[in-house]
Amino acid sequence: MATSLRALLPLYSVKGGATVPLPRKLARLYGGLRMPAPGSSPKVFSNFVTTLDGVVSLQVKGHSGGGDISGFNSQDRMVMGLLRAVADVVIVGSGTLAADPQHVWTPDAICPELAREYQLLRHAMFKHPAALNVVVSASGNIDLRLPVFASGRVPVLIATTRTGARRLHKQRLPDSVSIRSIRSRSGRIEPGAILDEVARASGGERILIEGGPQLLGSFYRAGLVDEQFLTLAPQIAGRREQDGRLSLVMGTTFAPQHPLWGSLTDVRRGQSHLFLRYSFAGRTQL
Ligand SMILES: NC(=O)c1ccc[n+]([C@@H]2O[C@H](COP(=O)([O-])OP(=O)(O)OC[C@H]3O[C@@H](n4cnc5c(N)ncnc54)[C@H](OP(=O)(O)O)[C@@H]3O)[C@@H](O)[C@H]2O)c1
């Protein structure tokens, strides 16, 4: 179901934040983009695609990535690239890397047809050519020969535990990769500690979480997600009991004890896909 690149139709938008200086072609395709002005702490935003019935990963070999959820929709790729282009840092968990091991988290890797526009945008925002890619893994069970590490295309930080760091140091460490061993409780690294390391490494103000659901869950639990971009793809994936299909957040629950409500700030339409944006800023840690 690949579609050609067409402009999104703006349906609803709450004003606020600073205007992002989009190059003409991106402005035509996406419309205006405003992001919260950087303050004393970095802004954390997440971007996912989900089916109408709330599935973000089919968990079927060769079909576990977001492409199978969006139908490899070009407007979704365009938005993914745009959000990567405005980010200083892109964070993923090891499960997301495992599902797409050849990927590098740059705008042009997801939407090559707009590579030049993304580059212009980063230049206009005085950003480094590539955002810091952060991979989170407690176990350190990661192959450093994968392109994200070995290609040298992006600087990479691996946030891991002491055990994970020991395991990783048994492999040859590419120059573009640094390993940070962070104190963990029962194998889980606190998202706040990940952000502290990221701040030390990059000083970045805009942090994009691209998944997966476990990593995102831990950031929501810590009250550290300011905004959620969510593409709603017009398909129903279905579920069988214990088929392992994932939803947006895994590994933690909120409702009914601690319901976590966001507020809708933006809606755009691309044919039958909806591009939604919610604010969760100011939600407290559980
Ligand atoms: N539809 C979408 O938009 C979308 C977006 C992203 C991902 N996905 C899909 O989601 C699936 C992956 O899901 P997932 O939940 O397994 O992904 P994940 O969160 O990327 O990976 C989970 C792994 O990351 C590490 N991790 C996450 N949070 C951690 C923390 N706080 N402390 C320490 N380690 C942490 C652990 O690694 P170790 O096991 O190495 O210790 C954990 O097993 C893939 O199929 C991917 O394609 C879909």
CATH hierarchy code of domain 41-235: 3.40.430.10
DSSP state letter for 222 = T
Ligand 1, residue 250: give the atom nearest the CA. Answer: 15
Ligand 1, residue 161: give the atom nearest the CA. Answer: 33
Q: Give CA–CA dist 276/47, Å, rounded.
A: 10
Q: Give CA–CA dist 91/56, Å, rounded.
A: 17
pLDDT given for residue 2 in this prediction? 47
Residue to mutate, 53, 79, 137, ligand 1, most ligand atoms under 8 Å from C-beta: 137
pLDDT given for residue 146 in this prediction? 98
| Ligand 1 neighbours by CB, cut-off 6 Å | 48-49, 56-57, 64-66, 69, 92-96, 99, 136-139, 141, 188-189, 210-215, 218, 246, 250
Residue to mutate, 50, 52, 57, ligand 1, most ligand atoms under 8 Å from C-beta: 57
pLDDT given for residue 1 in this prediction? 46
Q: Which of 137, 148, 71 is nearest to 106 (CA)?
A: 148
Domain ranges of the chain: 41-235
Q: Are 58 and 237 in contact (CB under 8 A)?
A: yes
Query: How many angstroms separate the first and last alpha carbons of the chain?
Result: 40
pLDDT tens for the chain, residues 1 to 286:
445 699 999 999 999 899 999 999 999 999 999 999 877 789 999 999 999 999 999 999 999 999 999 999 999 999 999 999 999 999 999 999 999 999 999 999 999 999 999 999 999 999 999 999 999 999 999 999 999 999 999 999 999 999 999 999 999 999 999 999 999 888 899 999 999 999 999 888 999 999 999 999 999 999 999 999 999 999 999 999 999 999 999 999 999 999 999 999 999 999 999 999 999 987 666 6
- Separation in Å, CA 176 to CA 78, 81, 179, 181, 284: 27, 22, 10, 17, 35
pLDDT given for residue 187 in this prediction? 83
Span from the CA of 211 to the centroid of ligand 1 (angstroms)? 6
Residue to mutate, 136, 231, 232, ligand 1, most ligand atoms under 8 Å from C-beta: 136
Q: The sheet that has 43-51: what strands, in order across it?
A: 9-13, 263-270, 273-279, 227-233, 43-51, 206-211, 89-93, 132-137, 156-160, 177-181
